[in-house]
Amino acid sequence: MKIIKRTESPFRKTPGGMVLVATRVAGQPAQFPPIEFTHDDQTVEDIELGPIGSLYSFTIVHPGKDKQPYGLAMVDFEPGVRAFGRLLYSDQPPAIGARLRVVPFALPDGTPDYAFQE
């Protein structure tokens, strides 16, 4: 039996907006981040999440005196998948249940990533 490593990005741009990519193995619920390793005989289905989800929970991280606070969020998507990521907001974070969009975000080293924004 051969093990296969997933190399595709867990997010992508579509004509409707940026989406996250979850995976589902036959008989299992969908999950995000996508399954990283599978057996070559497993059927793995990619499922697009977004571009809009619902804010389930969030926290504001205060990393220290000389660094800006930032938000982290759990966002619910159809078909019942919850994703974790950076929360972008201006003055006040959004309310629980707010509709959030998946948006492009760059990590401090310039690596492309995703975030959630109202």
Q: Which of 34, 89, 83 is nearest to 56 (CA)?
A: 83
Average pLDDT over residues 36-43: 85
CATH of the domain at 13: 2.40.50.840
Least confident of 3-12, 97-106, 108-117: 3-12
Give residue 79's pLDDT.
Answer: 87
- At 6, list the tokens: 């997933």
Tell whether the model's pLDDT for residue 42 goes beyond 90: no
- At 37, list the tokens: 């390793």
Domain that holds residue 46: 3-117
Count of domains forming the chain:
1
